[in-house]
A and B are shown apart, each in its own frame.
Chain A
């Protein structure tokens, strides 16, 4: 059966094998057909789901650990330090060692905590992460689910992570956790608006909510160039409110360590703490990848109008690397925010949202709609 699947997949890949890096749809279609020819439809779908689940788990762990390492290195270089340099060359296995340590640590039960919700909270945060990851187009054809309301689904699901944070803060039965969770709630709920409006600006330009179509619409030029100034403003607003959504510095009042020890995950230990920690970094990755999909063209190579030769050279780089490169560029920007700016007070944070970002955003949406109506974008 397995052999059958593999041969079927290879047959459908009649092109040279490296073609697969430019278009994954033949590979995924081959696997799908192979499974369906040898299994009943129910089992075929089940096996596919298991394969995708395992792939996402691996991706999650690798990206999460790498981002923790990258963050430590970036902040170290900004502060004239070296960062982790003991385990492995340049310390690349530092975060793996940290994870192993956290796996072996004791899970301390909290007296008077609501133990069911306390244990549930990290899983809600993780599940939300996975649900969002499913809708992200990583490369051509490398896309778990292509909803026709993709970006709407992403906004709807990603705002659920606040439930995990609030549950963690409430069930810990600790004042630090509760204050942290409340701040986080206020912050995420208010910045959800800006993020939504910034995304609407792009949706107006793309004319679709489907993520694969949004990427396809950027074949002739990324939206950040196509949409002139309004798209750039929307990009800046998206990055700011995305940073606030992920509770990262300078908007990290939810876990402000100088005031609240660790905020909503103060009472967590061991692997449950690691879940929160990883989820935070994956959230950053998700925000960055949505930003790169919407504004920087996702996996679309950099194309300039009629420069045929230039465009062909850009096409040589596989789409997946374009996607990863853009995402890491945005992640670097977000990290730069954290290590440059001081933490905001809660009232300053809400002032920024309600007095500055939201009005600008509303006007921006209007201008973008006018641009699209007049056909002034290219």
Chain B
């Protein structure tokens, strides 16, 4: 007797849970609410990517054309596939000391896996990810980028 009650209980419970599931999908079908699909090429103008999106590595400059890269080379050491190459030069400051500053911070986008090791390990937070994602170019040479802008200088107070 008990097993028979159990049998019908199972059926009603099963049907009930299935109906609840169908209720949810049915509601979504008739009022989907927020549509998550991005109609990409049409909405290029007002497409906003997420903050955490890793588009490409950039070196942010402030309005006085100053960056924070000291040329220590930690990003170059950390990069697993040799994407970054830091070319530094030595200058003599006004008070007669020798100082190493960067000449060129070369970033090869074509080799980058966007692992973010360079951005995470940079001691002076000189690197960041931009949300740019349209990387396609016709010439591979265009993927080799120099991150520091011409004539830029080290920000004051960053050692």
Show the binding face of A for B, using Cβ within 8 Å: 74, 76-82, 85, 336-337, 339-341, 356, 360
Contact = CB atoms under 8 A, between A and B. Distances in A.
A340 B25 contact: yes
Q: Do most interface residues of chain B lie in helix, strand or loop, or is the interface mixed?
A: helix
A74 B22 CA distance: 13
Contacts of B18: 340-341
Contact of B37 (A74, A78, A82, A360): A82
A74 B26 CA distance: 10
Contact of A78 (B29, B34, B36, B39): B29
B28 interface: yes
B11 interface: yes
Interface residues of B, number: 16
B11 A336 contact: no
B44 to A, nearest CB: 15
Interface in B1-35: 11, 18, 21-22, 24-26, 28-29, 32-35
Closest 6 CB pairs of A and B: A82-B37, A340-B25, A340-B21, A78-B25, A81-B37, A77-B29
Contacts of A339: 25
A111 B32 CA distance: 47
A337 B21 CA distance: 9
Nearest to B10: A356
Given A82-B37, A336-B26, A356-B11, A77 B32 contact: yes
Contacts of B28: 77-80
Nearest to B28: A78
Contact of A80 (B11, B21, B24, B36): B36
16 contacts: A76-B37, A77-B28, A77-B29, A77-B32, A78-B25, A78-B28, A79-B28, A82-B37, A82-B39, A85-B37, A336-B26, A340-B21, A340-B22, A340-B24, A340-B25, A341-B21
A85 B36 CA distance: 14
Contacts of A79: 28
Contact of A81 (B21, B24, B35): B35
A337 B15 CA distance: 13
